[in-house]
Each structure stands twice: as C-alpha cells, then as structure tokens.
Structure 1
Amino acid sequence: MTDAILETRPPRAVADDTVLPFAVEALDVRGRVVHLGPELDRILGRHDYPAPVSRLLGEAVVLTSLLGSSLKFEGRFILQTRTDGPVSMIVVDFATPDAIRAYASFDADAVAAAIAAGKASSPDLLGRGQLAMTVDQGGDMSRYQGVVPLDGGSTFEDVAHTYFRQSEQIPTRVRLAVAEMLTRTPGGAPVHGWRAGGLIVQFLPESEDRVRRRDLDPGDGPEGTATPVLDDDDAWMEARSLVDTVEDIELTDPEVSHERLLFRLFHERGVRVFDALALKDQCRCSRERVQGMLEQFSAEDVSEMTVDGEIVVTCEFCSTHYRFDPATLVKG
C-alpha cells in the first residue's frame, strides 16, 4: 500500500465511486471518505423509486460502502432494516473487495401520502423497527451481527453512532449525504443522476485509557448506581468538531475531491492518505444459482409457482428476470 501526506491543496479531480482511507496521526484518528456517482445512479435508476426512497437507499449504500470497505478478509458486510415505516425493508450487500448491490421494499401509497404531507424525511420513511449490520466471513466461520433499534426519529448517521458506541465502543463520527443532480449534455438535453458521499472518522489511540468513554447502563449494578462520566479526549474533541463542519454539498459536489475535503479539514494537523478502492455495482445472482434454488422445491410447489406455463424469478437487487420451464426443475 502506498501513502502520501497532503501538504498543499491537492489539484486532483474527483474520483467517483471510490473509497479513500486516511489517517490523521496527530489526532490518533483514522477514517475513510467515499464519493459515489455513476455506480450509485445505476443501482437507483434500475428500480425507478420515488425520489425520497432513492435518497434513503442512497444513504444506506454510502454507509455500507464506508463500513464494508474496511473488511480485511474475503467476505460480506450486509446492512438490513425491518421497520413499520413506508419503507419497510432496505438491504445493502457489500462483497469484498468492491461489489455493492442494494434494494428497498416500500408501500407506494404510504410513500406518496408521506410526500404529500411533507413527511418524507429519512426517519419518517424508516419508522420504528431495527437495523442489523452483519459481517459474514464465509465458509465455516461464524457470522457477527449487531442490531440497533430504530425509534422513528433515527437517521442512518444516528444509527451508525449508536452502533459504534454500543457494539464496538469506538468513538466514531459519520457524515452521509445524497443529492439529486440535473445536468445537460453539450446539445442541451437534461440529464438526471444521483450522487452521494460520506465520511467516517474513528478515534483509535494506542492507549486504552484515552479511548475509554462514558459507560453504558450500569446493567447488573445495584439500583441507583451512577454511570461515571468521563471527559472526551482533547484530540477526539478536535477531530469530531472538524467533522461536524462538513456540509452536505462538500460530500456530493463533483468539484470537491476526497483530497480537497480532507485537506480542508485536517491540513493544520497533517493528513495521510492511502490507496483508494474503486467500487462497482455488481449483483451476485445467476441463472445457475436461481435454478439450484428452484430445484429444491417439490413438484407441488413448482406447480403452484407456474404461471402461463413458466416460472419467472426476478432478482430484487438487479431486476434481472429468469424464466424456467417447470418440466426441467422437477427431479424424476
């Protein structure tokens, strides 16, 4: 892995659909910044979602990209919500090292009503339920899953902060932004597209005493046991304050590169960047996989799934239609 220290404002162009890891050693923080363009636009465009649903799913894709790209082994990172809101389920699947797929299930009438009532923000659409983050190492390795409740007022940024505070106990700050873009071709024709960006910064000092945070609930302690309050480390307070100055437009503007944003935030302390990782929209479905699944069903089940002499299976992620002759699926 190569690295470079940003000493002057870098003139680099924006690298769409990439994650750039970085470190600010003076503040003991590490992080990643992501810009998504054409690949995100393909994910959202193939489903023709209402704009607020696309924006919500885009936020989930950005968060998953930031977290999934940190895996150092061959596996998957899966973000999934199940809620009572107009958008009842979101699934984003990141397969290392670089493949993303995603979809949302929603009640079209409920979403339309939310838009009409001016209540189509991310918390409004998510509602109450839970969000699960799963790390799948494949093979015989066990899965790790963290579950965070959604209380009807949570954004994906809120969920990320809760997850790292409770499950990982790592001071973390996350920023996410999604924008609907309208540009024009040289001939003047309008072109619609989606862009998104995100930033994650984590406090990772060598000394455990410096990372120790406010304890969680006293748990099994005697009734009335107070939760000790510890001051935040000065370095983390500075890093967190800098991240909080990031505007949405800085994360989605095609003129603001990863390096330019990081230089703006951390040039006084010095920021080191590492090799960027390119991301791509890529589904893992195939005709062979779908057929293998269908062959597990009984003849009666296959008959019930048959419509007009064929079985049609549509991948929720990439919208690909697979058509099968029922006679080829039933084992003699």
Structure 2
Amino acid sequence: MLLDFEQPIASLEGKLAEMKKLAAESQVDVTEAVQALEEKIKILKKETYANLTRWQRVQLSRHVERPYTLDYINQLTTSFIELHGDRNVRDDKAMVGGFGEVDGKTIMFIGQQKGRNTKERQYRNFGMANPEGYRKALRLMKLAEKFNKPIVTLIDTPGAFPGLEAEERGQGEAIARNLKEMFMLKVPVICIIIGEGASGGALGIGIGDRVYMLENSWYSVISPENCSTILWRSWNYKEQSAEALKLTAKDMLGNKLVDGIIKEPLGGAHVNPEKMVKTLKKKILETIAELEAQSPEDRIMSRIEKFSEMGVVTE
C-alpha cells in the first residue's frame, strides 16, 4: 500500500523497472542511466522520509504492512509461550503476553495486538483492550517479578476500548492500578511504542525504567482525528491536530517524555522487518544489561523520579 507522499518515489521506481526490462529485452547497455536513476531514487527517499510532517508519521505508524506485536515477538524469541486470561473475566485477545527466550535470556513480553484483515481486527478488537486485558497484563508482570525476569512491553493501540461494558467492568480502575503497580515492579521494565501510542490505552502498559519509540510511531493523549472532532466537530482538521499535539518520537524526546528513539529502516519498519527486528533485539538486550546492573531499589526510585519530573505544575 502506497501513501500519498510516497507516490513520487513509486513513480521513479516504476520507470527504473521499465528501463531494466527494456535493457534486458533489447540488449541495450543502459547501465549509466540505471545508476543515475537509482541514485536519484535514493536521494529522494532520504529527503522525503527526513522531512515528513507529523500527520505523515501517523500514517506510517498505521501502515497495514507494519509489523505488529506478535510479529516482533515471534521473530525476537525462541520457544515463546503465550499466557492467557486475567483469572477474573476472560482472555482479552487485544492484549497478548508470555515468556520468550532471546539469546538464552528469558523475557516477559506484553503488548497490544491488532489484526491485518476484517476477521482478525474483530477478533483482536482493533488492538483496543478491555479492563481484563490490562488485568491480564498486570498478572503477567507480577508473574515475571515472581521469577525475577525482565519485562518488555510493546505498545500499539488507538486507545483502550471505550465501550459501555468496558466502563462497567472498571476500565479506568484497571489502567490506574497498572500505573501504580508498574512503578513498584522490582524487575527491569522496558516500554517500546512500535506504532500507535494513544491515551490511557498506551499508558496502561507504559510505565518503565526506559521508554523508547520507534522512529515512525506516535505517542499522545489523543489521536489527531479525535482531537479534530472535539475541537472542530470534524475529522477534516486532523493534519492541524497532529501538528498541535506534537506527537512524534522527536517531539516526545525533545519534551523528555521518552528516553530514546529507535531508528527504523528507510521508508519504515515494514520495508525491512528483518533489519527492524535486529535493531530492536540489540536495543532490548543492551538496555536489560544496563538495568540489571542496578539494584531493584535504585531502579524503582529512578522510575518514580523520572515520571515525577514530567510536565509543569503550578499551585
């Protein structure tokens, strides 16, 4: 799937394919022309993806071919064991988690999972977890703490499920409890926004010693469309909303709301998933080694201090 701003690149790549096909059929040497066009495409790609607007970053974060939580987990780990249920209501399919081994190290992975087609999206509730999803996540975090295993959360959600039944079962309480409990976990906690990081749905598994964002992800209190709907009563101002929200990885790092940006392959994580997985794996293992060198007490205090310093308070 091509996004609007990718059309000029696709047009040049089409011409390049035609040129190569013509050269093969006619036995004409067009090596210099091919090299020149390839260089032009390379330069255009760098310029395009280096100067994306905030709305264009949002579009990339939602690309249908972009890797989702289970894609990363299955590529990162060997012998992944998915664990189910909150031991109270049911198993929320929008929230997944379990133990997996990465280079011999056991890690608890937890994250929201979206679907790629209509059936999967309905099954996964579009990555929007109910209260039981957040309670399942907390149960798995406590399990990881019990066995002294580090936790990695992969955040990719348009928000917690806003339905009436979710509110009746305590959506706000479930997320609030996760925030409180995650501050006090004795094991290393790494949170990574891999796509969309919207509102309390992201925060419910977003309190960690290190919070990272992929280059083309976004993190905000509200999506651009919903912000536009509230302020202008129309979705037509989503581009302006995205600019005002300052929701990109660069914005978040500049405001000291995240600890780092994980670079994606040129064009987005979906262009070269294997490279993205290698980059993510390296970052996770390096960060775990760094955090495990600290005592649990020091990690907890640093975690609390980091989040306490965010924002501006006036009395």
TM normalised by structure 1 equals 0.24
Instruction: Indicate the structure (1 or 2) with the bigger Cα radius of gyration.
Output: 1
Compare the two structures and name the one with the higher helix fraction. 2
Compare the two structures and name the one with the higher strand fraction. 1
TM normalised by structure 2 equals 0.25
